[in-house]
Structure 1
Amino acid sequence: MKVDIIISADDIIESKIEDKIVVVIDMFRATSVIVTALNNGCKEVVPYLTIEETLEHAGKLNRQDYILGGERRAVKIEEFDLSNSPIEYKKNVVENKTVLMTTTNGTRTLTKSTNAKTILIAAMINAKAVAEKLLEINEDVVIINAGTNGNFSMDDYICSGYIINEMLSVNNKIQLTDIARTANIIYEANTDIISYVKEASHYSVMKSLGLDEDIEYCMKKSIIDIVPEYKDKKITCL
């Protein structure tokens, strides 16, 4: 079993993910939203690349059956019900609803990963559950960091390190590429997460927007046990 990392959506190469088990991470905040919404009882999350596509699909559904969620540049989309804040996706809001979602980085990463054999959704909040599922599947893994506007993102990278560290704690024979090994080293040196993440540019943007509650929530380790899967253009729990 081999584990590799792709550092942003712009660096996805089809040949690297074809027939692989892919794990998509957008810790701040798309994948944290997806995990939270599904854990709170939403039927499914359907990701879209553009606002226009999202609204077009919404027009085909009964208004009481769906929630529009998403952001551009970390700010809520004007026509939408919710932003990209996981704490907004409460049980009484999303239960039995379909969440139609578009974000700057996360949903773009998902839509570019469809050549993979299996696509799982991960964040800090469900990292241990994802690690356990990967060990159970026992096939080569490529962890894809959504990144920020096509660039490397420190927050997604340390989340990758945490998942790898959880896998190694059970099976230390896993093969790691250099970039995957480095992620584990960085995690082990910053297990509190904040000591590393506070240096990230995305963290600074969120702080400037007053998103402190989101930051705190998204850094919580393994508080949710579900593993979402992106399949047939929608995300549901495995």
Structure 2
Amino acid sequence: MNVEVWLSPSAVAPSERGHAELAVVIDVLRATTVAATALAAGARSITACLSVEEAFKMKAEATGDNPPLLCGERDCNPIDGFDYGNSPSEYSPAGVGDRDLIMTTTNGTRAINEASNCDGMLLASFTNLSAVAQRIVDSMSSDGLLRIVCAGTNGAVTGEDALLAGALLAVCHKKLSDTARFYDGPLNLVNDSAVIALAAWQHCISHDKVTDGETLATRLSLTQGGKNMVAAGYGSDLVDCGSIDVFDVVPTRQSTDPARFTV
């Protein structure tokens, strides 16, 4: 399996954006964590769009007696007129169960759009890390290209997304190989960003002593994205975003225009 990582969509030139068999989009803080949380809570679907105006338009054009709910954020904060913000704790079965959601966020939904040149797309977070890794292992061909796309923040690379990209590589390797030596295994890292992401996660385990959700949440608070959330008053979300393998749902793209995800 060939694997490349985009540490930020803006770091990859258009000429380097070839077709991928599978793309996995990451926005740990917080869009892809919310997506997994909402679908685990019973939401029927999540449709990603780029702008607030587009979200309102999609809701206005929806038919039926159960209109979609609007969710997302701009610059960490809820959007006026939306039903939900971007904190995972907002998404309960009572609130979103059996409902369709329309989501727009500062970085995550833009990354979904940037990564659209692929046969299939999954959304990954620490909350569904192992489930996503298993889906990758089950669905990728031996010579196909897996593209892991980190949303970053306003075009810049952020540590939390790079850490999850590295964690996905490590878990996939463990599922596919009987050797602890990564470079003897079945994953071919085709760009240096993949090597950097893997090294960041390995350092996180060995040096920062991240072993569980609590220690991971502490580590996330040290990234730029984590600092931004704390400054905006959403530091408590780091616990939810740092929870590891609490869901077995994998948000999976069902259509490309617009991007609609279900389990």
Q: TM-score, normalised by structure 1?
A: 0.93
Alignment map for 1:47-62 (pairs within 5 Å)? 47-61=48-62, 62=64
Q: What's 1:106 paired with?
A: 108
Which residue of 147, 150, 159 maps to 1:145?
150
Following superposition, the deviation at residue 63 of structure 1 comes to 6.7
The answer on whether the counterparts of 1:14 and 1:115 sit within 8 Å (CA) in structure 2 is no
**Counterpart of 1:80?**
82
Residue among 236, 239, 256 paired with 1:216? 239
Corresponding position of 1:20: 21
Aligned to 2:92: 90
Letter in 1 for 2:226: Y
8 Å contact from structure 1 (residues 119, 230) kept in 2: yes
**C-alpha displacement at 1:48, in angstroms?**
0.8
Q: Distance in 1 between matches of 2:196 and 2:114?
A: 25
Q: Please name the residue that 1:2 is paired with.
A: 2
1:11 and 1:229 map into 2 onto residues whose CA distance is 25
Maintained 8 Å contact 1:120/1:230 = yes
Stretches of structure 2 lacking an aligned partner (at least 5 in a row): 177-184, 211-215
> How far off is 1:17 after superposition?
4.3
For residues 63 and 204 of structure 1, what CA distance do their matches in structure 2 show?
41
Structure exhibiting the larger radius of gyration computed from Cα positions:
2
Query: Against the structure 1 CA distance between its residues 6 and 122, is the aligned structure 2 distance closer, same or farther, given a 3 Å change threshold?
Result: same
Superposition deviation, residue 101 in structure 1? 0.8
- Distance in 2 between residues matched to 1:166 and 1:19, nearest whole Å: 20
- Name the CA distance, whole Å, in 1 between partners of 2:34 and 2:102: 12
Q: Does the 8 Å CA contact 2:45/2:261 hold for their aligned counterparts?
A: yes
* Higher alpha-carbon deviation: 57-66 or 86-95: 57-66
**Residue identity matched to 1:179:** S
Per the alignment, residue 131 of structure 1 pairs with: 133
* SS of alignment partner, residue 65 of structure 1: coil
Task: Return the letter of the residue paired with 2:163.
Answer: I
Q: Match for 2:251: what amino acid?
A: P
Counterparts in 2 of 1:149 and 1:103: CA distance versus 1, 3 Å: same
- Separation (CA, whole Å) in 1 of partners of 2:9 and 2:91: 25
Paired AA for residue 37 in structure 2: T
> What SS does structure 1 have at the residue aligned with 2:128?
helix
Does 10-19 or 71-80 show the bigger shift? 10-19
* Residue in structure 2 matching 1:162, options 155, 167, 177: 167
**Match status 1:186 vs 2:187:** no
User: How many residues were matched structurally?
Assistant: 237
Q: Secondary structure at the match of 1:170?
A: helix
SS of aligned partner of 2:175: coil
CA distance in 1 between partners of 2:81 and 2:96 (Å): 17
**Would you say the 8 A contact 1:33–1:85 is kept in 2?**
yes
Please give the TM-score of this superposition, normalised by the length of structure 2: 0.85
Q: Deviations over 1:183-218 (max 9, x none)?
A: 222212213234643331111111112212211110
Contact kept? 2:20, 2:147, Cα under 8 Å: no
Shift of the alpha carbon at 1:60?
A: 1.8
Structure 2 vs 1, CA of residues 151 and 5 (structure 1 numbering), >3 Å: closer, same or farther? same
Instruction: Provide the residue aligned with 1:236 in structure 2.
Output: 262
- Which residue in the other structure is 1:200 paired with? 223
RMSD: 1.7
The separation in 1 between residues aligned to 2:224 and 2:103, in whole angstroms, is: 24
Greater mean deviation of Cα atoms: 168-177 or 35-44: 168-177
Q: CA deviation at 1:229?
A: 1.2
